[in-house]
Structure 1
Amino acid sequence: MRHPETPDFEKAAHAGINWLKNLAIDKPKAKDWPRDLQAHYKLPLVFSLTDNIDMAIQQLGIAKELFLDGKGHFRENEVTLPYVTYCYFYRDWWLGMAADLLKDETSKDINGSIAELQTDNGFRWSPVSPNTSLLATAVGGLKFISADELERAHDAARAVSEVLHMQPHPDQAFYLNRDPSGNLIDSQSSSWFAFMPGQSKPIYYVFGLSSYLLATAAHGESKLLEDAEAFHSYYRNICGVATIEHPYSGKIGLASSMLYKLTGNPIFRDTAITAARYLIRRQSPDGRWTLEEFIKPDGSNALSVEADRTAEFVILLNAIHANLTEQTIG
């Protein structure tokens, strides 16, 4: 029986899965979504995790054909795009996790291309930069957990811990990137370089992914688990509820649910449920989730577009539910 305080994960997730199934059937080619790449490249993973294996294999094949450059990267990756620049392989990560689960040969290519960006200080944020970013390091570590390359994942977790402990005044600014010498880059020029309370466009999910990597990679290592909890304390106490009730809160809910699974501490469960409730409230009646994003096609003025996030939010709700209840949503 579902705990009375727990949101109805299964109802929300099933509605999202059904919408995605119809989307995949009606529009099996990514060209039908000229401005909605998110809807397609996460489909293989969501179908893999919800036991829709035939659809997962079909969608992975389509994604490989349309997106990948043959070297494990999306052809549309551009080092000039901010969301790619600070984690060049963010898209590759999502597709690569599906390839790992499906034992697809693409997994090797993606893992190899991401491994090229790993350094002693974490993962370089792009092939043209010597600097590393907290986002890229967290994503890289999680990718290698998915690929069962635990030594690489542990090195990434160590680098994430280092960034946490290097912060001079985290209550004022949390610096996210390091130079080739391993020093924090103390620029506050954008949310990609530093998080500051009250920031207009904070990237909260960096903290969620960092905490999730540390918790997942800990394997009984108390220091990593303590640091995962420290990230949780930071975004809960310093940033407040705005961090949790936010369109990007799903990854914070994911990290919190893993911490609850590992420790049984109810504060982690409360955070995970708060994040999940927020996501579920944003779901449309047809089962879909969207977020407003801004793009600059061909260097013109930014356009507001409705980006589909249904696959991502189903994945996150499924994982949060599994960590809280030890049951997956099929």
Structure 2
Amino acid sequence: MNAMTRRIVIGTAAVSMALTMAACGKAGGSSSSKDNKSIGILLPDTVTNRYNQFDKPLMEQKIKELCSDCQINYDNAAGDPSKQAQQVNTMITKGVKVLILDPEDSVGIQSSVEAAVKKGIKVIAYDRLAQGPVSAYVSYDNEKIGELQGQALLNAMGPKATPSSKIVMIDGDPGDPNAAQFKAGAHKVLDGKVNIAYEQSGLWKDTEANKKMSAAITSIGAKNIAGVYSANDTMAGGIATALKGAGINPPLTGQDAELTGLQRILVGTQTSTIYKPYKPEADATAEIAVDMLEGKDWKSITDTTSKSGSGQDVPAHLITATSVTKANINATVVKDGLYKISDLCSAQFVAACKAAGITVG
């Protein structure tokens, strides 16, 4: 092979290699490619049933409906803030263009959010408002939820709701900004109406809530407890166990309309929960994510703003929640088909379901 032929062959090979690399980059969806359609979803824990049972599949379904060729990268922090920070780094490395983030620690995740945004990733805060330069936020009116919980407790207490009546408050995890809003809303309704004799965080864990409730019973005396505010159903489960062990059954709140929480309401060991329809939240988030990905106007979906702990005014979409008791369980969660009747009204709950007006097949 002479020099001229060799140069032609090498030049042809170089051009071929460049074209191949460009094609591979396009097919692989690198972060620099305009055709990259990669969305990341990071959820906070596996203890709260809703995330894997509702939020994840609903978001994935809506994203695929709107963008059939979108790639979805999912992970769960399993309650570990440092693990979630690493997961954000992984999403950056994978080159996602939009990141849906439900922070386990809304304050500690700020540096991770900043790192993602510096790489050109748009971050949507889901359910909990992360600190840092997030582009949008989708959740519920959390202070209003706290007000609904507080009012549900007063309603259940009836004439026993007096300024001298002692209640226990088991709040959510202080690392979750929503917990502070639930707490603020509940206090707005309860303060001055009852005597909050004991208040502690249950960290969203049934085991921790059980310990705190047991300590409250020891401190106040079982027969002196007129009501219990629990910030969610998971913790209400641990609280109900402690109350049963003490031989008392005062009104008890909850949140998230978990299956076990609803079943406790049916049999009378929990008086209320908060039904937050997950589909509207997941759908709105998916729509914003796909619009961001495709360069469309997503701000028509956000109809208000929320101020984050780091001072940002974030375009937000906040969804209305509903207080659920035995009186309206049939007209709310059952009507919406949140769970199969066969699951809600399993063998030991059939009689209670019928008493609540639920048609059991």
Q: Report the TM range for the smaller structure's normalisation.
A: under 0.3
- RCO (CA 8 Å, sep 6+): is it higher in 1 or 2? 1
**TM-score calculated relative to the size of structure 1:** 0.28
Q: When you count strand as a share of all residues, which structure comes out higher?
A: 2
